[in-house]
Amino acid sequence: MANYSVADIKALREKTGAGMLDVKKALEEAEGDADKALEIIRVKGLKGVSKREGRSASDGLVAAHVGPTSDGEGQVGVLVEVNSETDFVAKNQAFISLADRVLAAAVASAASDVDGLLAADTDGVTVAEAVDGVAATIGEKLVVRRIARLAGEHVEVYLHKVNKDLPPQVGVLVSTDAKGASVAHDVATHIAAFSPTYLTREDVPADLVADERRIAEETARNEGKPEAALPKIVEGRVNGFFKENVLVDQAYARDPKKTVGQVLAEAGGTVTGFARFRVGA
């Protein structure tokens, strides 16, 4: 019988995020030597990296950073999503520390896409190599899924926990002009809750609007609506699409009698951009 305790198993699981069975096998093979067991888990994990490629990594966390622009005239925000296979790993300190490294590399490198971020340096290795190294230790597929970078006179960040026991899984960046800063936080929480797709109606692709009009008209005809009433009905349904998907047209979370656009107008400010990630979505 190997010389290890329940406390040893717990400590190694917390350190690596590996499963109970894998930890017990490693400790048995290492005859209770925790350092050797950690090495065994890592080596076996590296051999299994390619086998995990087809597995789904739909859990994880979002992390964000806001700092000054290089010219000091505004702010720039960075939002990253890093995925794991299970929520057990998502709350593991090794995974959280990896996500912190990924975010720091995103900020330092000014990467604007995942490929650029994976190639960025973190403590002398690429982000991709760091991810593979931690994945080998943990025994799960880990993925840097996406990155957003947003600059403006003011950038607000909001991170939301959907489960109090897990890291944030919804992240929002909102860029505004200086006057918009006063309502930027409330707008960010609104975006987290209502997940708009576009900032303004002008940002909605023309072909998508055309499709919505066509579907609205076909639906109205199938419902037997009078021909003379079709234009008004179609316009109303297209406006409904805008109210659901366009940020400034959405009913404001804190006061549904107003739109987000009206709230911004009352503050004298403007939202210039936003990004919203929800883990796995």
pLDDT digit string (tens) for 79-107?
Answer: 999 999 999 899 999 999 999 999 999 99
C-alpha separations of 12 from 8, 21, 25, 105 in Å: 6, 12, 12, 27
In the predicted structure, residue 36 carries a pLDDT above the cut 50: yes
C-alpha separations of 35 from 12, 15, 30 in Å: 9, 11, 8
192 is a domain residue: yes
Together in a domain, 232 and 253: no
Percent share of the chain, pLDDT over 70: 92
- Which residue(s) pair with 173 in the sheet? 157, 275
Instruction: Tell me the average pLDDT of the chain.
Output: 90
Together in a domain, 196 and 255: yes
Mean pLDDT confidence for 24-41: 81
Together in a domain, 195 and 89: yes
104 is a domain residue: yes
Predicted pLDDT of residue 122: 97
Predicted pLDDT of residue 38: 77
In the predicted structure, residue 13 carries a pLDDT above the cut 90: no
53 is a domain residue: no
Banded pLDDT at 31 (limits 50, 70, 90): confident
Banded pLDDT at 18 (limits 50, 70, 90): low
54 is a domain residue: no
Indicate which CATH number applies to the domain containing 33.
Answer: 1.10.8.10
Locus of tokens 């593979």: 132
In the predicted structure, residue 6 carries a pLDDT above the cut 90: no
Predicted pLDDT of residue 140: 85
The pTM for the full model equals 0.79
Phi-psi region of 205 (alpha: psi -120 to 50; beta: other; left: phi over 0): beta
Together in a domain, 120 and 66: yes
Q: Of 85, 21, 32, 97, whose CA–CA distance to 58 is shortest?
A: 85
Report the number of distinct structural domains present in the chain.
3
In the predicted structure, residue 49 carries a pLDDT above the cut 60: no
Banded pLDDT at 58 (limits 50, 70, 90): confident
187 is a domain residue: yes
Predicted pLDDT of residue 54: 56
Query: What are the residue ranges of helices labelled H in 206-274?
Result: 206-222, 230-245, 260-267
- Condensed to tens digits (0 to 9), the pLDDT of residues 213-236 reads 999 999 988 888 888 999 899 999
Together in a domain, 130 and 237: no
Percent share of the chain, pLDDT over 90: 68
Tell me how far apart the alpha carbons of residues 173 and 189 are, in angstroms, rounded to a whole number: 10
- Which residue(s) pair with 63 in the sheet? 80
Indicate which CATH number applies to the domain containing 214.
Answer: 1.10.286
- Condensed to tens digits (0 to 9), the pLDDT of residues 162-204 reads 999 999 999 999 999 999 999 999 999 999 999 999 999 999 9
